[in-house]
Structure 1
Amino acid sequence: MTGQSQQENRARTELRGRVALVAGATRGAGRAIAVELGRAGATVYCTGRSTADKPSDYGRPETIEDTAELIAAAGGTAYSAVVDHLDAGAVRELVARIDREQGRLDILVNDIGGEAYVHFGTPLWEYDLEDGARLFDAGFTTHLNTSHAALGLLIRQPGGLVVEVTDGTRSYNANHYRETVFLDVTKTAVDRLAFAQGHELAAHGGTAVSVTPGWLRSEMMLEAFGVTEETWRESAEANLGKDALPPYEFVISETPAMLARGIAALAGDPERQQWNTRSVSSFELAQHYGLTDADGSRPDAWSFITAMENTPARDLDVEKYRRV
């Protein structure tokens, strides 16, 4: 049995009987995390605003009901809920429902982003203030609302886990400007929220951790760059030294599977408190738990992107950053 199979089997055992809430599970990383937690044995409440009757802000076809069906197809138990996490009352009603139906909450994953309101390259004084506020509210206030409502239930049993999904590790974001003021502040605030929650949860045997994927090869990103899962790497390699999309850095991208597998393994780890208050990447989780991405590689995106700042891309061996 491979190391990955051993870890997955252990996670299935550890997560059986546990209850998870994944906020922002309609697509991308949130969907993958919800499915992986369900596959590993958890009962998963997955939330989003996109339904068959109400399309998303992104104009995407995915719905939260689809996510629940994917969890069921993976052998898990799922409950979908249409919730706007900016509506604190609606979030409290959701947590009350989980309490009524399950009597516990063991895992909270906050994965709502807000990237629909990002205007790259726009300075603060030219940024549409309403869009900037929407970005911050969608990407941070939703997390705060959800934790505020859910942590009282989560701490009833020791061992609760809160995962704040953000963009960039703490060390990377501390030294890099993240494209716009609103995006920069939003993503660093989410990391700080995990740090702060970890201090308060520690007394209850709980853990809070900030987790970032690398360059995520989500369905939205593939479509935005006009590539497919079969053509993305060839297209990125062809753009070495060019100002074109996808940029060459996309060669180090990863699917949502690696992040999802890492979070499921973290949730199933009886020693998960070692991660409390920390900022960790999908690569670090995969390396620690012996996991890989869907293609069997283990992309170390943040190291590769950082290396490109001081070394010409053509002189870097991308395989060195993808090997297991």
Structure 2
Amino acid sequence: MNGVCALVTGASRGVGRGIAQGLYRAGATVYASGRSIETADLDDAIVRVACDHSDDQSVDRLFERIVTEQGRLDVLVNNAWGGYENMVEDGRFTWSAPFWDQPLWRWAAMMDVGVRAAFVASQHAARLMVPCRRGLIVNVSQWAAQKYHGNVIYGVSKAATDKLTADMAVELRDHDVAVVSLYPGLVRTEAVLAAGVFDLGNSESPEFIGRAVAALAGDQDVCRWTGQVLVAAALAEHYGFADIDGRSPRPLTLTDV
């Protein structure tokens, strides 16, 4: 990926941090954004840009910097998301509450910080990619888009992300810019490891998702995937890469979830 410029949003921790690391180790010039990006555990060569993706002016400044310093953007990974915080409120676990008991802030967090943030960043990216007739936009999504998983708001927001992918693909197809939704499996993020309750036998490192994005970005025929939902572990089988520990996680299916 030498010569490739990539931006990963929401890269302060978890999957986003792993994607930024994976793309950097594949040779890309990587910009990583997030509210707490300055304290993120990232390679020093990754360009950290503090950005609140719910603030349009902050996003404007992020892309202005990329244009000034690089003059191009080849890969955008929309990973910034909201709504995972404050799962326990006033001593009550609200994450799995029925929709009539869900706090309304969670809708705003997932739809605005999540779906809207991906839309706004993609607008900026498309303005750079379309004139060059190349580019890849990856929207990190989840099986909740297709099957009830956690709560109603989570499912609606992930389904919206996949619909965003499908419809953007229609408008970008004639410009040779690809856009896909990417589903990780069970990822060994800081939160998952801290919970200590998950069976990690078929889990993935955060960097594994970065390898999946790198494989897509290096595919000269990546537009054949555009508009589709892709599973990271299935891409590993297709492109022939493994996780950082040498393992090959089994691709999950809708039945597994």
State the TM-score, normalized to the length of structure 2: 0.90
Q: Choose which of 41, 44, 48 in structure 1 pairs with 2:34.
A: 48
Indicate conservation of the 8 Å contact 2:106/2:153, yes or no: no
Instruction: Report the Cα offset of residue 223 of structure 1.
Output: 0.6
- 1:116 equivalenced with 2:85 (yes/no): yes
> In the alignment, which of 197, 205, 208 is matched to residue 258 of structure 1?
208
From 16, 34, 55, the counterpart of 1:87: 55
Equivalent residue for 2:149? 178
Show the 5 A alignment for 1:92-111: 92-111=60-79
Cα-Cα RMSD:
1.9
The 4+ residue runs of structure 1 with deviation greater than 4 A are none
- From 113, 117, 122, the equivalent of 1:147 is 122
Indicate conservation of the 8 Å contact 2:79/2:139, yes or no: yes
- Counterpart in the other structure of 2:10: 24
Name 2:190's counterpart in structure 1. Answer: 219
Which residue matches 1:208? 179
Amino acid at match of 2:243: D
- Is 2:110 aligned against 1:135? yes
Matching residue's letter, 2:163: R
Letter in 1 for 2:248: R
C-alpha distance in structure 2 between counterparts of 1:258 and 1:86, whole Å: 27
In structure 1, distance between residues paired with 2:190 and 2:26: 23
Deviation at 1:260, TM superposition (A): 1.3
Match of 1:306 in 2: 255
Q: Gapped runs of 5+ residues in structure 2?
A: 88-93
Change (3 A) 1:51 1:207: closer
Tell me which amino acid in the other structure corresponds to 2:175.
H
Indicate the residue corresponding to 2:24 in structure 1: 38
Cα pair 2:18 2:208 within 8 Å, conserved: no
Cα contact 1:104–1:156 (8 A) shared by 2: no
TM-score by length of 1: 0.72
Question: How many Å separate the matches in 1 of 2:79 and 2:37?
Answer: 18
Q: How many residues matched?
A: 250
- Secondary structure in 2 aligned to 1:109? strand
Deviation at 1:253, TM superposition (A): 1.8
Q: How far is 1:139 from its partner?
A: 2.0
Which one has more relative contact order, counting CA pairs under 8 Å at least 6 apart? Answer: 2
Give the deviation of 1:51 after TM superposition: 5.0
Greater Rg by CA: 1
Q: Does structure 1 conserve the Cα–Cα contact (< 8 Å) formed by 2:178 and 2:227?
A: yes
From 227, 234, 237, the equivalent of 1:277 is 227
| % same residue | 38
Match of 2:90 in 1: none
